[in-house]
Structure 1
Amino acid sequence: MADGVSLPGSPFATNVYDPTRVTVDVPSYGRVGQEVTCTVMTTYAGEGDVEAEVSSGDGTTPCDVYQQGEDKFLVTFTPKSMSPHDVVVKFNGSLVPGNPFRCVVTFVDVSKVTVSGDGIEDTRPLPVGKPTSFFVNTDDAGVAMLQVDVTGPGFDDVEAAVSPQDDFHIVEYTPVDVGEHRIRITYDGKEIEGSPFKTMTYDVSKINVLLGGDKKAKLNEKMSFLVDTSHAGGGKLECIIRDPPTETQMMDRGLGRYLVSFLPVTPQPHGVTLSFNRVVVPGSPFKIQVVDARRATASGDGLQLAPINNEAVFVVDTARAGGASSKDIEARVTSPSRTSVPCKVRDSGVGDFTCHFTPTEIGPHIIVVTVLRESIDGSPFTCQTFDLSKVKVGPIQDTTVGQEMSFWVQTAAVGKGAPTVEITCAGRTFPCHVKTPPGGTKHTCHFQPKVAGSHDAMVRFNGFEVAGSPFAFEVRPGQSYHTTIEVQSPTIYPQDDTVLPSRPKSLQMRPDHPALSRRQSEPVSPTQYEPNSPTRQEPNSPRRPQPLSPRRSEAIAALYAARSPPAHTPTSPGAFTIPEPDYWRDQDIQPREKIAAYGQGLKRAVEGKISEFVVDTTGHPRSSLEIQVFGPSTMITCTVDRRGDKHYASYTPRQVGAYKIHAKYGGQEIEGSPFQVTVVNPKKVELLGDWRALMGNTNRLSLTVDEQFTFPFNVQDAGPGGELDAVVQGPSREIRAKTVLKNNGRQYVTFVPKEEGEHFIQIRWLDFELPCSPIYGDARGHRSDPSKVVVSGSGIREAFVNEVAEFVLDGSDAGPGEPMCVLRGREEEVEVTLMPFPQKRDKYRALYCAEKQGSYRLHVTWDEEEVRGSPFKINVQKTIDVSRVRFSGITGAVLGSTIRATIDPRDAGAGGLLQARCLGPNGKADVQLTEKEDGIYLMKIRAKEAGKHELDIKYNGEKITGSPFVVDIAPVPTSPGGPDAKKVTAFGPGLKNGILGSWRGNFLVHTAGAGPGKLQIKVDGPKPGSFKLESRPLPDKDRAVAVNFTPKMVGKYVIAIKWSEENINESPFEVIVFGSSDEAKSYEKSRQRRRSSRSSFDKSR
């Protein structure tokens, strides 16, 4: 107004704005050839226009400015070169503070991304449970977002940690399952070359080593065990034995199973080390005891004599046999009635084992002792048993000194053996002589007491005390006689003593004692009895007889006498001996002990095996021992190991025949030398005929009750003078076996089974067990019951072409019989293999493999009679052919809708498992499979995000043709009333790099104009719990959400912002939080250098 008058055009409109309140959000990174969108907000700056210019080192870049709403502007440009681009923004012609805003433009080439490292190579399997890693090199590929997804064999996600470095990334993950792992790598949203990568894993802890519970091997016999790697994954199995060094052999049995064998030649524990993919199998090295049964020995009274109804004990010593357990030792005791007597084996804990059995029958008991089913030295043993309770002792009467007494011992029905009697009195022992009439059982015992007092008669039978023993009786003094001894000197008198009439006796006298000159003595009569004396001399001269020379190596008694006593007159004080006439004196004469030689090696030996014997020189002066072993054609080396007075000799014969062993000690041949030794070889005993036909399909002899069975053998090359001996143990008793000798070098062993059931046949050649022994057989009556045979398993119902099918045939309740299976189809007859179950009688595994599809009939017979249910109808189907699974495919998939497709596996073969998995750009989609009545499967997929998805379909564990399929999930179509993620914007310092502690992590999300939808914000940090995220809608703003993002540690953070399951522009955002400004500057300089080097490279081109 002027002078109160309004000027023309008044009132004038004035626009008040503040460019400092304009906010500009320019992306930190851009891509060459990809549109870059910058957001300018003028909400608090007033009204106005926004202008923008974009420039780079290559000049000005065209840009466009779009207004969205009243206060939002978008500036877009498309970089043409890889260099920093500066964006200058003006508001109403005024520069906005912060100009110019920089956007680093890079060139992303996914083909330049490379990978390397153990964790991604497919040439070597990876162990389960151990972290592995690989490198992703992005140095020449430009700056972009790297995404790594690892899935296991069960389609489960495996956590993978990605650690960015200057020019590469380290990816670390830990496989948890055995099988194929897939690694999917995307860079800038695109899969790199070779993705998805495949790696195989293994788990060495899932390897099963089937050694058996005892882990024992026999010396010089092949030891085999099974190693099952079927559940451990792929890899290479290795076996080595270093202690002691031993060669091993490995046979691939298929399906991941290997048979490992080795031949132990030393009796010591063998350490077997197994490794899988050069990783030691848990439990390695496995210790396998090597046992040499020949070195085991047995000792004790229970091997020779034992009273019935009392526990008999003997000891088996395996200390020199290589070590054994109670399970390895078997002691079989057979009574005279051929029944088996239970025998328990207990471990004493010091390398030997005590065997206990209680006989109930009188007579010889056969004891067979084996270690790992091989007889020990000296086995079988014979133990004579007797009944102590039937020993009767006649009345024992009191008697007097010098008067012979007798009583009887009755042993009728007691058993084989002899009684012994021992008389004791006041700690002294007196002999009692036992006389037995030829063939009699009533034994007379004679005893003439020498002293008076209480006596005990200890009566034993075979060394065992009989009931009531010891028997007590009294011996009274005998009749008294009086004699007068005159002593001329008063200072000499006789001491108390007993005078024997008509026999010399010593009297002790002292001449210095004042006593009476008379002494009365009471004589008794002596008794002499010499059972071992060869002669009795009664010389009639005062001289004693000459020394006796015994004819046998045992003690003898000599008797000599003098009839005229020598005259003697005491002249000084002291003790004197005065012999009396007719005195008989007993004298024991003991010869020197002879040198003893004993042991199996002095009687029999086996060709090629060490044989041993012992020479005992106890009681003889130390001297040299010379042993020479002469074979049929040459002398054999003999080794001697001296231990004190015992010499342990060993030799190894190299051919069968008669041998002589000369043994000299101190240059003189010892008694028994030269020893005659027979060397044989049980392995050269040949069973004539077809051994397999003899054993049948069951690997057991088929016997018939009351029918003779004959083993024909050729023993011509097995050694001289030998005869086969067989022990046949039936279910309840031992069967007598006969050996028939022929002059053509053949021998026949025959026996007749007397009862149904299992028979144990042990055949020996000169006490050495044959390699084929023991043999098991099943005796059956003349009739079995096939109706009790049970046939079970899937193999009697269905099978697949060219695949092994199996069923079980159990005839254990049907009685012994011969099974037979025949499988017939329309065009072929299929062979059925029967395999007996170990340690189970009449039970078999049946295996077959049909080559053609169709209907078959399985006939199962038992002793030529069909079992219940036979013939069985079997449907043989084609093997599953995954290539014939049909997939309908997917088209027109849209986010937010259920995607449907069908899978038809009917032509591929029934019985397979159908699996499906769908992987999207950032995660898995939900997949549901439903089988319809016609066998076709309906598949439903519910995607969680738009973009390319990978659909993997497997049938029976194999991918169907074309799998994995690529399914492109389109975003929700934009419509006036629908959600539009492109119209959602996010900006603020929280979406840019910063320094921990001073960094502002807030940003705004505007959803105005985006239609109805749901906002989702997800942040992935370096570690779980590494940040805090809060959001709240702004009440005074149009659909704006304020987000506060607070990181707790340095590292890279990926912020994904979605609207209705779809990423908004520029999402996901990558934010790097540094620990210091120096780190941030170093990072920027590194980026600048990379950009400069790339720019120079581009210009050079």
Structure 2
Amino acid sequence: AGTPTSVLLESNDHYGNVVTKGGAELEGTLVSVDGKSLHTCNIDDHNDGTYTLYYEAEKMGDYFLAVRMEGQHIHESPFLVFIDHTDSDPQHCIADGRHDSGDGLKSCVVGVETGFVLVCADRFGNKCSVGGDEISAELRGAKNVTVEVLDHQDGHYTLSYTAIWAGLYKLHVLLGDDDVYGSPFAIVAETAGIHPPSCYVHGTGIYACEAGVEAQFHVQTKDKFDNVRPEEDELEVKISGPEKVAILRRYLGDGQYDFFWTANTAGQYEVDIQNKGVSLATAPYSANVGPGKVFPINCVAEGSGIKEGVAGETQVFSIQSKDMYGNKRTTGGDRFVISISGPSSCEAKIRDKDDGSYACTWSAMIKGTYWIQISLNGDDISGSPYFCEIFPADVDVANCTAEGMGLLAIKTGQLSRFTIHSVDRFGNHLDKGGDPWEVKIDGMEVIDDAEVHDERDGTYTVTYKSDMKGNLQVMIGIRGRDLPDCPFDVISDVKLRRKEALKRLEEKRSLKAKKGRKKQVEVEESSSGSSGEEEEEGNAPGPSRGQKVV
């Protein structure tokens, strides 16, 4: 097509002899079989009986070549001639985007093979019927993508490509070094569907949270090729743990989500983010909800040391720090203050165990009811103040006393009595009985029937009778240990010298009062401990009496 073609004609006479001169009237026409195209041929007369006929056609197809001499068809005229296409022309090569996976000249989905068909034609628009053209293509963008070319050897080609990065591309289709008609084409590579393992989840809300404080985590959805999802997907968040929590969701666009949740109960929670039942990224996650800030009114003290104890013994109790929601705190550092008031001055010691609990100790020498106030930042903890009853220690013979006329002078033949007072080593009068007091009386006579009556209040009444006039010695003790005043010298007479007995009684009472005052001073010094020495050593005043700060 488009190329001049010639035919050599030789003329003969009626008998078949070659004519050697020109001048014959020749004409030639080229007509398409469908009659739509008619071309007149040019003829050169060589004046030797031969002629050259020239014709040219642009449209490919079958033609009739009619050659007439003197108005009549020459031998075998008209001739059937086929006009073939010429070489493919870039501007007449047409790309068709229709493909099983969509229009490959407009858009594609990453990870999915997409293509189009290229039909080659020459410069006259004749479709080529053979292959072998130098066809190439490339998808150019942020990262170029190779395009595969399949030659069907009939003038058309199938081109296919697979993009894995979403975005805008330019598709260049070349014949040789020239772009075919319409090239380059604008291509939009769309992201594939959500791919749960490729999604990204981050934030403290999937690892560590604080009770009562809103926790947050962020989700970025992506496809299999790490492309960000441009639209909202169906996501479901499930959080299970010690309590049921509400979950708030906010979509930010471009496949980004913020999730918020708050738990008031400390413990381990499982956080799972799913798309159609499949967990995203490395979900489910284990989130630890720790206790919040200390809340004094929820803190508690436990142990016998805030209820009752024994004089001289170390009283022990513990403080458990808690947050606003009643969760036990797991770290230390809280500055609790303990103030103890009562019959004697006392100090408490606090040891921070760094796990939210505090070991507390204190001791008192004087029996009675003590007021224990525990506070933090000026606020009392739950149950404060506590009332603790301190009971006397075991009986200490060295501090016990006995009194009564039965230890001074008695009348012969009549029952006499005296009272024993059980006292502990700190001078506390016992409030209960049960002490195994023993009384031994001898002298002018041995009295074996002295009766010791337990009054169940720490006192013991002893009654005995002497039938002989004279002097007696009374020994009082427990398990071989006698009272410090033993032996007691007792006068036994028919006529009791009352004045002498009263005088002896007054002397004993005076002596007892002096010993009591001395003992009280010793107990108070023992109760106050070594706080004075500590002040002196540190050159700075310590905490006020009855308070201990940690």
Q: TM-score, normalised by structure 2?
A: 0.37
Q: TM-score, normalised by structure 1?
A: 0.21
**Larger RCO, structures 1/2 (Cα 8 Å, 6+ apart):** 2
Q: Which has the higher helix share?
A: 2
